[in-house]
Amino acid sequence: MKCIMDYLIDELDITPNFRKKQIFDWIYKKYVDDFEEMTNLPKELKAKLSKEFIINPLKIIRHEIASDQTEKFLFELSDKRTIETVLIKMKEDKYTVCVSSQVGCKVGCSFCLTAKDGFVRNLSVAEIVAQVLMMKKVKNFAQNKSLNVVYMGMGEPLDNYDNVVKAIRIIQDEDGLNISPRRQTLSTSGIAPKITKLAKEDLGINLAISLHAVDDKLREELIPMNKAYNIQSVIDAVRQFPINKRKKVLFEYLVIDGVNDDKKSADKLVKLLNGIAAKVNLIYFNPYPGTTYKRPTTQKMEEFKNYLNKKGVICTIRQSKGMDISAACGQLRQKDKDGL
Ligand code: SAH
Ligand code: SF4
């Protein structure tokens, strides 16, 4: 059966037009997931819609809350596959949703747990949009409460290009979730031609690049796809990307102890970012059973950061959230119902 969240409002074949607005309103502002509850629609229309569409493709099968208030949701999809979505509590009453775009991932980064199960499938538009909607519904957030959305969950968003771009549009649509593209950040491991394509859509979203290494040999070891799209090709694509004047391109740099945390790397990074409105976000490597990589000490991390700052690079350290429920970066993966 079709899912109504797969469609932009203009794509729905329903007349008159104001009915579409009413339906979107019920779904995206009132979080209703049964057509029968849409009390201002005529009976026949409700019946027709119920026959044709489902509303929400996600079923919550697990909800965990970490000691730092980070929440992790395990959702079951219609084919029984599972994905994880993370809700991170920021300062005051601000929240960031970390959205998944695929079940598994093809890129196969050596440090990432999501990749260990291989690639299963792309998420549909509805499965992406519904992750954000579900956060608002479960938390009972007001319809006008805006969240930040980061495409940093399971999967490589640019490898599911069409669905992710359409989901961004529905999430930003005033009739949809109405979350400004300036509050949405897409993170990619660096599929250079897709970054160029995305630039042309002019969506107004923020871009994050998982850089992690400054020389191609090491980056190939960490992100095998670097063989096809090397560092220079990624940087060239980034230079073409339209970024709001007040914003910067985020470069994520996963710091692995003894692998990429030396001064020479820092110097190369400074050179590489020269002339780009860039901000570097250092991420602690989060270990998992079976990995040989190590998490750097706080002191090493601070040193690396201070060194970059001294050289004029804007740089922050990402505080790992949700460690005690495995909700931190790189710790998301498919799970069965028992969460194993
Ligand atoms: N596939 C995209 C989107 C996922 S983002 C991308 O790679 O950019 C997930 C972020 O978590 C990436 O920056 C990734 O490099 C980081 N990550 C993956 N494994 C990690 C680990 N074990 N510890 C810390 N960060 C990790
Ligand atoms: Fe895929 Fe990103 Fe994990 Fe690499 S880090 S395997 S691109 S999800």
Report the pLDDT averaged over residues 66-72.
Answer: 93
Identify which ligand lies nearest to the alpha carbon of 108: 2
State whether residue 157 is helix, strand or coil: helix
Indicate the burial class of 199 (C-beta count within 10 angstroms; 0-12, 13-18, 19 or more): middle
**The CATH number of the domain covering residues in 56-337:** 3.20.20.70
State whether residue 111 is helix, strand or coil: coil
| pLDDT score recorded for residue 243 | 86
Whether residue 210 has its Cβ less than 6 Å from ligand 1: yes
| pLDDT score recorded for residue 333 | 75
DSSP for residue 181 = G
Report the pLDDT averaged over residues 191-215.
Answer: 97
Q: Which atom of ligand 2 is nearest to the CA of 189?
A: 7
Q: Which of 112, 114, 119, 253 to mutate to test the pocket of ligand 1 (most atoms within 8 A of CB)?
A: 112
Whether residue 115 has its Cβ less than 6 Å from ligand 2: yes
- Cβ contact 322:148 at 8 Å: no
**338 has a pLDDT exceeding 70:** no
The tens digit of pLDDT for each residue in 79-107 reads: 999 999 999 999 888 999 999 999 999 99
| pLDDT score recorded for residue 337 | 46
Ligand 2 centre distance from Cα of residue 286 (Å): 14
Residues forming the active site = 84, 329
The tens digit of pLDDT for each residue in 309-329 reads: 999 999 999 987 887 877 777
| pLDDT score recorded for residue 336 | 59
**At what angle are helices 161-172 and 125-138 packed, to 10 degrees?**
40
State the residue for tokens 């799209």.
229
92: left (phi over 0), alpha (psi -120 to 50) or beta: left
Ligand 1 centre distance from Cα of residue 112 (Å): 6
Whether residue 329 has its Cβ less than 6 Å from ligand 2: no
Alpha helices of the chain — where are they, by DSSP H?
Answer: 17-24, 43-52, 125-138, 161-172, 192-201, 216-222, 231-239, 263-272, 298-310
Q: What number of other Cβ atoms are within 10 A of residue 30's Cβ? A: 12
Report the pLDDT averaged over residues 14-43.
Answer: 97
Ligand 2 centre distance from Cα of residue 118 (Å): 10
Which helix (H) or strand (E) is 278 found in, with range? Answer: strand 278-284
Lowest mean pLDDT among 112-116, 146-150, 169-173, 327-331: 327-331
The tens digit of pLDDT for each residue in 239-292 reads: 999 888 888 999 999 999 999 999 999 999 999 999 999 999 999 999 988 999
pTM of the entire predicted model: 0.96
Q: Which of 58, 59, 36, 37 is nearest to 48 (CA)?
A: 36
Whether residue 190 has its Cβ less than 6 Å from ligand 1: no
Any idea where the domains of the chain sit in the sequence? 1-55, 56-337
State the residue for tokens 């976000």.
281
Ligand 2 centre distance from Cα of residue 250 (Å): 16
245 or 165, which is more confident: 165
Whether residue 101 has its Cβ less than 6 Å from ligand 1: no
**The CATH number of the domain covering residues in 1-55:** 1.10.150.530
| Amino acid identity for residue 4 in this structure | I
pLDDT cut 90: percent of the chain above it: 87
Report the pLDDT averaged over residues 22-29.
Answer: 98
